[in-house]
Amino acid sequence: MAANPCPCNSGKTFEDCCAPLLGGQARAQTAEALMRARFTAHVREDFDFVAATHAAAEKDSYNKSAAEAQAKTLTWTRLEILETEAGGPDDAAGTVTFAAHFTQNGQSMVHREKSEFVREDGEWVYVDGEINPRSAPVRVDKVGRNDPCPCGSGKKYKKCCGA
Amino acid sequence: MERRFRCTGCGKCCQGRLPLSVPDALAHADRFPLFVLWAPVRPGGRSYDLTRQLGVTLDLKKKKQAALRVAILSYVPSGMKCPALQDDGLCAVHDAKPLRCRAMPLSGARAEDDQDDLLLPRAGWECDVGEDAPVVYRDKTVVARGDYEAEREQLIKDAAILRPFATMMLQAAPQIRMDVEKMASRPMGGHVITDTAHLIQHLAGVDAFHFAAKQLPVMEAFAARTAGVAELAKEHKRYADSAAHWRRVLGG
């Protein structure tokens, strides 16, 4: 375990992970890196960083004092990145789906969100997110009795697994 | 059909719950115990289309829908007088009183052709509805329009804040969604009440700590007034929980 583990649970130290982004010495290369830094900023109650990394259209609606007030009532414990789509060094947009764990009033809770990020003037910024996103529907392909068996045996389904 | 009305200042309607516009709630946050009201209206129910327009549309099971009214509420127990009602029966904040009070007995939250029942004084009210009182409503049209229209205009402005707030909460808090859907599917209806903790995030420019400092003493006072009263146990818990939340925000 690192001496000063980064709150975003990357396994790196804070200095090697989110600190340069929060301090302004480095820029996020990916949407996920910004997502991680914004979580770390919440943990460290650095809401100026959170405010500064909102998309221009969203900046006016961000209530920094409300975020500060909320921080007094809960403790962020852990970040899990569940899925990313695009958002790489060569992309202009991307999404990051995450679960941010916290405790509030002695209860363990989870905030799940699919966040949308875009680049503005080359820099990744947060647009908004869908909370408790629905996962893609599970598709079940029907196998007819006379179709080849999905187990790969080459037999008809009805002569194989479907028997 | 004509309805006449003149306020006699009897103060009898100044009790219990009072839905407030967003600016009124913020202006009187040091006076009223503020909560959020979630009140579903089923298709064919009162002012359904207007409620959809000002609130959100709920998708229910079996492709059914309901309109959901979302409003900030001064949550005073039924029968308990308004904190701004003085002993002489007059309003302590008359010149700054909420749009909801000014528009009484008409309601900007109800469609113009759906005001009739509001103009029948309820038991114990001393409204003047006699021959000398002015006509305020004729043939489903509001005659005395000023305060009614002012309230409606504000509700339309509030919708720009309350609709995204409600959409977010219904996504983020499955318990609220489940409770609201349950109420929407009950034949006798019903509503849900939540605290204002998450609403503040949607009020750009409102200082959450100032708001907390105003609400904490109000919640404490109402918790004290309802303590030990069996029939107000639910209300008491809401005040106490809300007070505890604002105390945490203020670091106490």
Instruction: Summarize the confidence of residues B146-156 as an average pLDDT.
Output: 96
pLDDT at B23: 97
A67 and B201 within 8 Å at the Cβ level: the answer is: yes
Which long-range contacts link A89-97 to residues 24+ away (Cβ below 8 Å)? A89/A29, A89/A30, A91/A31, A91/A119, A92/A118, A92/A119, A93/A31, A93/A117, A93/A118, A93/A119, A94/A30, A94/A31, A94/A32, A95/A31, A96/A31, A96/A32, A96/A35, A97/A133
Check whether B190 has a pLDDT greater than 80.
yes
pLDDT at B187: 83
Three-class HEC string of B211-225: HHHHHHHHHHHHHHH
pLDDT at A144: 86
pLDDT at A150: 86
pLDDT digits (tens, 9 = 90+) for B8-25: 988 999 999 999 999 999
pLDDT at B52: 94
pLDDT at A11: 92
pLDDT digits (tens, 9 = 90+) for B63-119: 899 999 999 999 999 999 999 999 988 999 999 999 999 999 999 999 999 999 999
Q: Quote the ipTM score.
A: 0.81
Mutate to test the interface with B, among A63, A64, A97, A102 (most CBs of B within 10 A): A63
A69 and B209 within 8 Å at the Cβ level: the answer is: yes
Chain A residues whose C-beta is within 8 A of a chain B C-beta are 60-63, 65-70, 72-73, 111, 130-132
Q: Which residues in chain A come in under a pLDDT of 50?
A: 2
pTM: 0.87
Identify the band that residue B149 occupies on the pLDDT scale cut at 50, 70 and 90: very high
Question: Beta-strand (E) ranges in chain A?
Answer: 74-86, 93-104, 107-120, 123-131
Instruction: Summarize the confidence of residues B38-53 as an average pLDDT.
Output: 93
Closest partner CB to A132 (pick from B171, B197, B249)? B171
